Chain A
Amino acid sequence: MRSEWVLPKGHLSYWLRQLRNRASLIAPLRVDGDIVFKSLENIHEVSLDNPALLPSPKEFLLPQQEGMFWTEGERIRPLLNKERRFIFGVRSCDVSALGLLDRFFLEGYGDPFYRERRRNTIFLSIVCNNPDPTCFCIGLGTGPYLEKGFDIQLTDLGDRYFVQAGNRQSQRLVRQWSFLFTTPRKVDYEDQYEVFLSSKARFQKRISLESVREYILAGKVRDSFWESVSERCFECGGCVYECPLCTCFTVTDRSYSFGTERVRLWDTCLFKGFTRMAGGVLPNEKRVLRTKRWYYHKLVHYPDVLGSFGCVGCGRCTVTCPGRIDMATIAIKLRDLQDNGR
């Protein structure tokens, strides 16, 4: 089945309006000086000229707070969210992250809450032609465009979009309104390739996490380095909350007079209470252990277990970290140490 089309720009809003009739359509909107993902009321409000740095769409699959069960007496009701969603305007780095999240949540013990949300969500991603200064997906192969792993990928060719569908479900979204789309011609492929090239050229940060990993595995990074990093940690949890690949959560029960809700909430390994054992022992009381744990998880363990880094180079931790000890900064610091032969 065909999976590539061209969509004239003028047809986009019509298509989106049709999609909105099928499910709730979530897209980046400019609000009060910021860009946020929210449900779309007016199609013309979609903001596509924004820089790459959007909030992570992780919240639609693993919300910051998610009800798990509601109980009254002995009756238990699982709170599965079955809302159908189209999320438009997502970036390639986040789509790459989704691939890993899917593996994490669905392999082995499948997470029913994630599964239900994932099943009902289609991501329409856009090839980045305007990366932010904080972006470094190019060094990780997670952007600025994807060869596979996307639901629907759009490439902005100026007056039209190059549209690629990555699976059957997504192909249907195009074929149902096939009159909006045309068959790609040679020039469309060429233009798409040119967009890829020019996008790649715009990146300001070139970071190889592979060399950082080798450096760490070679035992060259001393604990004093991690000490100096952890001193600057504000313990805000921002890096974890913003990270499209961080998945830790905690579970808490809320008892109301009319029932009990079991909810899960985002949590972070950067807090000492995260690993508190029964009786109050804190295995990671020292902050440096926690900082190191986060970096080791992303740079060392993730590749060992899942075969790719626990980082897609989205650069959000660079924006949010008040202590400026985000992934990119640390990687650059380590590279400099390495270059200086230390």
Chain B
Amino acid sequence: MAVRERNNIYLPVKAEVVEKRHLSADVSLFTVRPDVPFDYRPGQFFMVSLWGAGEVPISVASLRKEGAKRSQQGGDLIEFCIRKAGKVTSLIHDVEKGGFLWIRGPYGRSFPLEYATGREMLVVGGGIGLAPLRPVIQWALRERNSIKKVSLLYGARTPDDLIFRDDLKRWAESGVNVVLTVDRATDGWDGNLGVVTTLWHKSEIDFREAVSFICGPEVMIRSAINDLFFFGMPEDRIITTLEAHMKCGVGKCGHCYAGRLYICTDGPVFSFREIKEHNLL
């Protein structure tokens, strides 16, 4: 019986919230410790749920420690960055430290990080889209010897909406070229204004040789991949991750179906080549 239940792909695992940090007005970072360990990679996502509220797909915002062993007490910490966007996420936001979330996963294809080995890496994020890219940057910093250069272009609506500010600062200090921009400045902001795709010149990247990882609102993704392709980046190395309505995460419920692919199992990470081939954007 127990074995079969473990085989139930829809059965979530309990995960205690060990830390909850507000990143912006409507975004919080939940650090959870699941009852069993999970092996996951940047770009993958979990179905996060509360009984009585429902499930939502949330991509992992943390990098799994290298060589982390399966411990008896439960799994390693996993971080989920969750924006209050609908009913379920609002209810999840009511969970405080010490409370529980239920998770199952990880699902989907991860970022092909190996593409970055020996190359320059350009990371382009918009709004909460920085969350799945965070482990990419963390990985790049861990593997800094094999990666030539990391550049991050990150934009948000207002300065208040910029998330992971501590990380941004730390990354900049560790040598990442961090370029920030906002759509609408508030008092005290005298940095860049406008969308990220106006900042290519500040990326200091040789587009032809680099690999890019992109996540953000659909309009941003669309113009970013088009621009990068125009600048000569090969379409295989323009990598993005797509969002879709999902109920199962395992290619059964049909909600994320798009042009013969399931975003959940065939994605959510796609290269520009795949996006063009299957008309995904």
Binding site for B on A (CB under 8 A): 68-69, 71, 74, 76, 78, 104-105, 108-113, 247-253, 255, 260, 262, 264, 267, 269, 274-281, 293, 296-297, 300-301, 304-305
17 residue pairs from A and B, CB less than 8 Å apart: A71-B51, A74-B14, A104-B252, A108-B250, A109-B251, A110-B7, A247-B254, A249-B248, A249-B252, A249-B253, A255-B52, A260-B52, A264-B247, A264-B253, A269-B254, A279-B83, A293-B257
The stretch among B53-61, B114-122, B133-141, B197-205 that forms the contact with chain A is: B53-61
Indicate if B181 sits at the interface (CB-CB under 8 A).
Answer: no
Size bracket, chain B contacts: 35 or more
Q: If the complex has contacts A76-B11, A251-B54, are A108 and B265 also in contact, measured as CB distance less than 8 A?
A: yes
Interfacial chain A residues near B4, Cβ < 8 Å: 112
Interfacial chain B residues near A249, Cβ < 8 Å: 247-248, 252-254
Question: For the complex, would chain A's binding face be called helix, strand, loop or mixed by DSSP majority?
Answer: mixed
Q: Which residue of B lies closest to A279 (CB)?
A: B85
* Binary CB contact string for chain B from 229 to 257 against chain A (1 if under 8 A, 0 otherwise): 00000000000000111011011111111
Q: Sorted from nearest, which 3 A-B pairs have the closest CB atoms?
A: A248-B254, A301-B260, A278-B85
What is the bound-complex CA distance between A300 and B257, given in angstroms? 13
Partner of B7, one of A112, A247, A250: A112
Q: Identify which of B254, B255, B260 gathers the most chain A CB atoms within 10 Å of its CB.
A: B254
Contact of A68 with B265 in the complex, beta carbons under 8 Å = no
Contact of B9 with A111 in the complex, beta carbons under 8 Å = yes
What is the bound-complex CA distance between A78 and B157, given in angstroms? 43
Contact of B250 with A109 in the complex, beta carbons under 8 Å = yes
Contact of B85 with A108 in the complex, beta carbons under 8 Å = no
Q: Which residue of A lies closest to B254 (CB)?
A: A248
Interfacial chain A residues near B9, Cβ < 8 Å: 109-112
Interfacial chain A residues near B86, Cβ < 8 Å: 278-280
**A100, chain B: closest CB distance, angstroms:** 14
Interfacial chain A residues near B83, Cβ < 8 Å: 278-279
**B163, chain A: closest CB distance, angstroms:** 15
**A339, chain B: closest CB distance, angstroms:** 28
1-23 of chain B: CB within 8 A of chain A: 4-5, 7-11, 14
What is the bound-complex CA distance between A68 and B102, given in angstroms? 15
Q: If the complex has contacts A78-B5, A253-B54, are A112 and B253 also in contact, measured as CB distance less than 8 A?
A: no
Q: Which residue of A lies closest to B52 (CB)?
A: A255
**A82, chain B: closest CB distance, angstroms:** 11
Contact of B245 with A112 in the complex, beta carbons under 8 Å = no
Contact of A112 with B243 in the complex, beta carbons under 8 Å = no
Contact of A277 with B243 in the complex, beta carbons under 8 Å = yes
